[in-house]
Amino acid sequence: SQLLQRLEDSAGAEGPPNPSVLLALNLAGAGACSHCKELLQRLKETAVERAAKDMTSGELALYVLAFLSSCQSPRHIQALGGTVDVLSWLQRRTDEEVAYLELEGAPQTTFYQLSLDVMALCLEGTGIYELAAIKLAKELLGAGDQLSVDTRAAAALALTCAYGRAGTEGLMELRELLGEAVTGVANGFLDLQQQQNGLIGNIYSTGLALQALTATAVFYAPREWDCGQAFSAVLEQHLDQPTAIAQLLPALLGRTYLDAAGLYCGTGTAAPVARGVTAAHEAAPLITVYYSVTNELRGAPFHYSTRVCVAAGAVLLAVLQAAQEQDPAHF
């Protein structure tokens, strides 16, 4: 896969370490690449040096996501003879963002960074992010299309996580607000994709938007997403910016930043590399397959349907595997 190779090469590039690159490589199952351990160590060193000094909330959030995807506790990062609790600093910066937002009507940095903050705190599961999520949802409902595609995509991912946690905690009023905001973003992205023949915004924003659509299917149902059109459109372009590739690659594999905290943390470094999937996306156009299972012969009758994206010419087994990954309870 050319995209994966470019991302692996960028992991060893000189300059400040990029947490988005390590996050994407881990989500792609490529966390054992030759440069990945080196990149992880450089991220740890940078966190120890800068977390308490000059890192913005969004930077801290991306570091938390990268560490979570690497099976590292962001509360206890060690390097250069020192230790830092990155999560605590993220919480502090997020609280500052919200306080500034309440006073000035805008966050200290950007709504994009605030979205990353909510996402990281929600995924880690121990932070306080509900007020930030409420502010974010209200901004989406109020400003809507005035926000950039990147911001709306990151916000949709963050609020999808918060929506799930609100349900488990019985916060139904909060859940309703978050669901309304995410539904608006998801449907807006589907409209944009139709208008722009596959792209959502531009080539650099589409990757994160595809992650958002991957994570928010329940919010735009019963509308259907032509993911094949989107993937084909974006792969026709030449991407060479590491951050843009890092946002796109997880979506091509059916993953999102919301999977960062759920990767395999056994004796190996990560889940098996899905190189074949990436290669298939680049070698052949993607198609959308509607797959249904119906039983009217034995036992209680049932009918389950799903929609998956596979490469054109894929065998039936690939469809069955994709359906099982998407909805293991029914397929």
Q: DSSP per residue over 187-220, as a string?
A: HHHHHHHHHTTT-SSSHHHHHHHHHHHHH-HHHH
Token duo for residue 193:
């994709």
How confident is the model over 85-105, as a mean pLDDT?
97
**How many CA atoms does the CB half-sphere of 150 hold within 13 Å?**
14
Is residue 77 predicted with pLDDT exceeding 90?
Answer: yes
Residues of the chain with CATH 1.50.10.20: 2-259
| Count, residues in the chain | 331
Is residue 121 predicted with pLDDT exceeding 80?
Answer: yes
**What is the three-state SS of 8-31?**
HHHHCCCCCCCHHHHHHHHHCCCC
Q: What is the pLDDT of residue 287?
A: 61
Chain segment 206-240, per-residue pLDDT in tens? 999 999 999 999 999 899 999 989 998 998 888 88
* Burial classification of residue 318, based on how many CB atoms lie within 10 Å of its CB (0-12 exposed, 13-18 middle, 19 or more buried): middle
Q: What is the pLDDT of residue 315?
A: 56
Give the lowest-confidence range in 5-14, 36-45, 146-155, 175-184. 5-14
Is residue 331 predicted with pLDDT exceeding 50?
Answer: yes
For the annotated binding site, the residues are: 109-113, 150, 202, 247
Helix (H, G, I), strand (E, B) or coil at 306: strand
Q: How confident is the model at residue 159 (pLDDT cuts 50, 70, 90)?
A: very high
Q: How confident is the model at residue 326 (pLDDT cuts 50, 70, 90)?
A: low
**How many CA atoms does the CB half-sphere of 71 hold within 13 Å?**
14
Q: Where are the alpha helices (DSSP H) in 106-254?
A: 111-124, 130-143, 149-168, 172-195, 203-215, 217-220, 227-235, 242-252
User: Domain 2-259 belongs to what architecture?
Assistant: Alpha/alpha barrel (1.50)
Q: What is the pLDDT of residue 87?
A: 97
For the annotated binding site for cyanocob(III)alamin, the residues are: 109-113, 150, 202, 247
pLDDT above 90: percentage of residues in the chain: 65
Give the lowest-confidence range in 53-62, 90-99, 258-267, 287-296. 287-296
How confident is the model over 137-157, as a mean pLDDT?
95
How confident is the model over 147-170, as a mean pLDDT?
93
The rounded distance, in Å, linking the Cα atoms of 209 and 247 is 9
Mean pLDDT of the chain: 87
The rounded distance, in Å, linking the Cα atoms of 249 and 28 is 7
The rounded distance, in Å, linking the Cα atoms of 66 and 3 is 19
**Token pair 């595809």: residue:** 210
The rounded distance, in Å, linking the Cα atoms of 189 and 184 is 9
